Structure 1
Amino acid sequence: MCHDRAVTNPVVLRHALGRAVAVAGWAAVLGWLVATRPAGGAGLLFAAAASGLLWAVCWRPAVVIDDAAVTVRNPLRNVRIGWSALDDASFGWSLRLRAGDVVCRAAAAPGPASMSALYDRHVTPGGVLERDAVALAGRRPAPALLAVRQRWEARRFEPSGEVAAAPAVASIAVLAASAVLLIAAALTG
């Protein structure tokens, strides 16, 4: 992709729960390997496969906002939308971007109505944890949507209207390798 100027002020948004799941998964697999010391190579193959799956599904997804465009990195597809090409930015269960016929949802930016809202902690000034986290999250604007809309407002009339959707080649390769490793682990186990 060609840019007229250097990309500055990037903001990278990732799903904290997805990252936590990846770290917990890696720790669990490592703990399982150490505790059971499986015979043969099946345990190592399984651990490598699980690690690849966790990376592609939980760790890698992101929304990258820079001066030229917004990029949504999902497990199977990357979409880069220049600010002047962006037609709509909204939220439902996740950040939803539309540019012409291209529509994408960001796995790394779940919406306030999603299950991730259950993990939000809302503390009053007196230090009391409020009970209705989902309802409160629905009234607060989503940080990813705010970040996209702020940059979009500032840059929407600049000549950066490219829209590019492409397979996430590295992620797909890791997922394919993980599938092969899982099959190999099953056959050797």
Structure 2
Amino acid sequence: MSSDVVVFRPGFGRGLSVVVWVGCAFVVVSGLVRSPGTTWQWLPLVALVALLMWAAYWNPAVVVTPAGVELRNVLRTVELPWPTIRLVDVKYALTLETAWGSYSSWAAPAPSRTRARTAGPGDMAHLPESSYGPGGTVRPGDLMSSDSGQAAALVRSRWEEVRDAGLLDDPRLERSRPVVRVHVALIASVLFLAALSVLTLTL
């Protein structure tokens, strides 16, 4: 069984984050050059926008580890050990059905209908065996051209390795609920910058 840790982040989100951060930097630099006396008032707001982009589009991820799957969403991270995972669903986003309930990933949304219609044969080839339905069908959310499909393939491949190694033959739960880490520092930083933005812009 693989011991690697694999982190999936959507390429679109990372690209969008970089574009917004470059725009924020341009606004700050040009403002300091033209009007440094008033630009400082906008710095907290610009920092807030940059932080929100990081929280919503850069930081979220699906982390596949030897122990299980971590769903790193905007406000919290949920740890789901392999023995708890019963089904990988991709209807609206990568969703793991577990012994504790259903948990979805912000980082892996399913594709739109338009995007699904443009999928080619390569998007449906060489997927983990548990991706295929009756008659070898593949759901739109499993297509490799989609974020949900790429994340689901990572999860299913590792889950099948764990299953084939016999580690799921007698699954036992060590906890009555998953480990959930709330992103307290992020929430506090957003609230602080939002309050500071209001304060500086109303002075």
Maintained 8 Å contact 1:49/1:181: no
Partner of 2:21: 26
Letter in 2 for 1:153: E
Calculate percent identity across the aligned residue pairs. Answer: 27
CA–CA distance in structure 1, aligned partners of residues 90 and 63 of structure 2: 17
Q: 2:189 aligns with which of 151, 170, 174?
A: 174
TM-score (norm 2): 0.70
Shifted more, 92-101 versus 157-166: the winner is 157-166
The offset of 1:160, in angstroms, is: 8.0
Q: Runs of 5+ in structure 2 lacking a partner?
A: 123-137
Distance in 1, matches of 2:51 and 2:186, equals: 9
**Partner secondary structure for residue 155 of structure 1:** helix
**Deviates further, 40-49 or 170-179:** 170-179
Q: Give the count of matched residue pairs.
A: 169
Letter matched to residue 188 of structure 2: A
- CA-CA distance at 1:82 after TM superposition: 0.2
Distance 1:28 1:40, change over 3 A: closer
Q: CA deviation at 1:8?
A: 3.3
In the aligned structure 1, how far is the partner of 2:86 from the partner of 2:108?
19
State which of 147, 155, 164 in structure 1 corresponds to 2:162: 155
Give matches, 1:1-150, under 5 Å: 8-37=3-32, 38=35, 39-113=38-112, 117=115, 138=140, 140-141=143-144, 142-150=149-157
Q: Which amino acid aligns with 1:15?
A: P
1:37-68 deviation per Cα after TM superposition (whole angstroms, max 9, x unaligned): 35152121122111111111111100000110
Q: Point out the structure with the larger helix share.
A: 2
User: What one-letter code is carried by the residue in structure 1 that aligns with 2:86?
Assistant: D
Distance 1:140 1:11, change over 3 A: same
Q: What is the CA distance between 1:154 and its match in structure 2?
A: 1.7
Q: Is the 8 A contact 1:92 1:113 kept in 2?
A: no
Partner residue, 2:134: none
Q: Which has the larger radius of gyration?
A: 2
SS in 2 for 1:104: strand
* Cα drift, residue 137 of structure 1: 9.0
Could you tell me how far apart the structure 1 residues matched to 2:95 and 2:113 are? 13
Superposed CA offset, 1:64-110 (max 9, x none):
00110100001111111000011221102211112223322111112
Normalising by structure 1, we get a TM-score of 0.75
C-alpha deviation, 1:167, in angstroms: 1.4
Question: CA RMSD of the aligned region, Å?
Answer: 3.1
